[in-house]
Amino acid sequence: MIVLLRHGETFWNREGRIQGHMESDLTPLGERQAAAMAGLAADLVRRDGRGDWRLVASPIGRAQRTAGIVAAATGLAIETDARLAEISCGAWEGKLRADIAHLHPEKFATREWFFGAPGGETFEDVAARAADWLASLPPEPGRRVIAVSHGVWGRLARGLYAGLDRQATLNQDVPQDAVYRLQDGQIDRFDCEPVL
């Protein structure tokens, strides 16, 4: 089983800035979202009843902060794995999405825009990292890991797990207030209670 969650809201999420590998702290709402997701993850671990769980997170600060909240709720130590890092958006990182969309409307007409940044990663780059991480896990039913990552990475990891095509992969939601359970070829979404 994989329990997958995205980091809570950041100040740059709120501003509409492209983050990629750059840092932005969680907002107060993001902290509450992380706590709510941590509670759901801890509940899934308790319901499973096995003690061999791992907690793995992207090295980027917003994921590390969210993982810290999950660690406090579950009692698990955080392992850091660079393969869980968000897509690099190259020259667009730190810029307002609206400004870049205005300059490149053709790229922003679909969810493919993430892969159009000068000096950034491609779909294939991120998918290769996600596939490598998934392949490194023990087979089911022995797999027990909580993964804290990012929007684009999480989309691609879920798409690979479910065998989705590229468009279906990119059309998936990337909530900051839900937890996904990947188990036995199925993906289940657990929404948090609304936090304000």
57: β partners: 80, 148
What's the whole-number average pLDDT of the chain?
95
pLDDT at residue 25 in the model = 97
pLDDT at residue 148 in the model = 98
pLDDT at residue 109 in the model = 83
Q: What pTM did the predictor assign? A: 0.95
Quick: pLDDT tens for 140-167: 888 999 999 999 999 999 999 999 999 9
86 classed as catalytic: yes
**Relative orientation angle of helices 28-48 and 61-74, to the nearest 10 degrees:** 40
Catalytic residue among 9, 23, 86, 121: 86
Is residue 196 scored above 80 in pLDDT? no
* CA gap 67, 70 in Å, rounded: 5
Please give the backbone phi and psi of residue 32, each rounded to the nearest 5 degrees, phi first: -70, -40
* CA gap 32, 6 in Å, rounded: 13
Is residue 104 scored above 80 in pLDDT? yes
Q: Which of 41, 11, 36, 37 is nearest to 26 (CA)?
A: 11
DSSP state of 17: B
Question: Lowest-pLDDT range, 42-51, 76-85, 165-174?
Answer: 42-51
Quick: pLDDT tens for 12-60: 999 999 999 999 999 999 999 999 999 999 999 999 988 899 999 999 9
Contacts of 69 (CB under 8 A, 6+ apart): 31, 34, 35, 38
124 classed as catalytic: no
Q: Which of 179, 150, 185 is nearest to 164 (CA)?
A: 185
| Helix/strand/coil for 176 | coil
- 14: tokens are 């709120």
- Tell whether omega for the bond before 59 is within 30 degrees of 0, i.e. cis: no
Helical residues (DSSP H) of the chain, grouped into ranges: 11-15, 28-48, 61-74, 97-103, 123-136, 151-162, 166-170
Domain boundaries of the chain, sorted by first residue:
2-191
Tell me which CATH code domain 2-191 carries.
Answer: 3.40.50.1240
